Structure 1
Amino acid sequence: MEFTSQEDIEAPIDKVFAALSDYETLERQAMRRGVQVRRHAPKAGGAGVPSWTATFKFRGREMTAEIEVLRIAAPETLAFAARAGGMETEMEVDLTALTPNRTRMNIAARLAPKTLSARLLVQSLKLARARMTRKFSVRVAQFAKTLEDRARKVA
C-alpha cells in the first residue's frame, strides 16, 4: 500500500533539506508526541548513516520501530526505512527547486506487511483508504509548514 502527497514550501531547496535532515530537531518533535527515541552510533562501514529505535503506543499496544536512513542525495532526496510489528515501511522525500525561494516536496510512503496481523492492519487501512489518504495529506501539509518555518530560521 502506498500513500503520496505533495506540498510547496516557501524556502530555498538547500534550507529545506537542511531543516529536513536536522535529526536532533526531528527527534525532539517525536519525543514531544510521546515517542521514546534512541539514536544508534553509525555502523562500521555505514558511512555515518543514522539509525534509531523508537518506542511508541499504537492502538493501545507498545510498539518498537527500527528506523534507518536508506539514501541521502543532498539536496534532493532523503529516504528512510522502518520495521515495526511485522510491517516494513519505506518513506522517500524528494525535493524539487521550483524557483530560488520555492521548493516542492513530494513524499511517498510504502507499507509492506510481513506478518498476518500486519496484513490485517493494511487491509483495514485499504478499506478506509480515502480517509487515510486525507489524514496523510494533512500531516504532510503540517510537516511542510513546520519545515518552512524552520528553513526561515536556518537563514
Structure 2
Amino acid sequence: MDFTSKEDIDSPIADVFEALSDFESFERSAIRRGIDVQRIGDISTPENGLAWDAKFSFRGKARELRITLKSYDPVTRILLSGDSSGLNGETEIELMALSPRRTRVTISLNLTAKTLSGRLLLQSFKLARGSLNKKFKARAADFARLTEERLNRTA
C-alpha cells in the first residue's frame, strides 16, 4: 500500500536537507512521545548503515520496529526502511529545488505485509484508504510547515 505527498518549503534545498537529516532531533521528538529509541551506528556518518530500534505501545500492544537508513544522497534523497513483526515499510524523501529559495519535498511510504496478521492490517488500511490518505497528506503538510518555520526562525 502506497502513500505519497508533495509539499513546497520556502527555503533553499541544502537547508531543507540539513533539517530533514537532523536525526538527533527526530530521536528526541520520539522520546518525548514515549517511544524508546536506541541508535545503532554513528550519526556523524549517516550513510554507513545508521539504524534505530524503537519500542512503543500501539493499540494496547508492545511493538518493536527496526528503522534502517538504506540510502543517503546528500541534498536530494533519504530512503528509510522499517521492519516490524508483521509489516515492512519504506519511506523515501526526495528533494527538488524549484528555485534558489524554494524546495519541493516528496514523501512516499510503501507498506507490505509479512504475516497473515500484517495482511489483515493492510486490508483494513485499504478499506480506509481515503481517510488514511488525507491524514498522511495533513501530517506531511504539518511537517513541511513546521520545518519551514524552524528554518525561517534560524535564518
Q: TM-score, normalised by structure 2?
A: 0.93
> C-alpha separation between the residues in 1 aligned to 2:103 and 2:47?
28
Q: TM-score, normalised by structure 1?
A: 0.93
Q: Which residue of 2 aligns with 1:14?
A: 14
Q: What SS class does the counterpart of residue 79 from structure 2 fall into?
A: strand
| Greater relative contact order (CA < 8 Å, ≥ 6 in sequence) | 1
Gaps of 5+ in 2: none
Q: Per-residue deviation at 1:32?
A: 1.5
Q: Calculate the aligned-residue CA RMSD, in Å.
A: 1.4
Q: What SS class does the counterpart of residue 34 from structure 1 fall into?
A: coil
> C-alpha separation between the residues in 2 aligned to 1:97 and 1:8?
10
Letter in 2 for 1:64: E
CA displacement 1:76-117 (0-9 Å, x = unmatched): 100000001220000000001011111000011000100000
> C-alpha separation between the residues in 2 aligned to 1:66 and 1:72?
17
> C-alpha separation between the residues in 2 aligned to 1:47 and 1:12?
22
| Pairing 1:80-119 to 2, within 5 Å after superposition | 80-119=80-119
Q: Which residue of 2 aligns with 1:49?
A: 49
Q: What fraction of aligned residue pairs are identical, expressed as a percent?
A: 43
- Divergent runs of 4+, >4 A: none
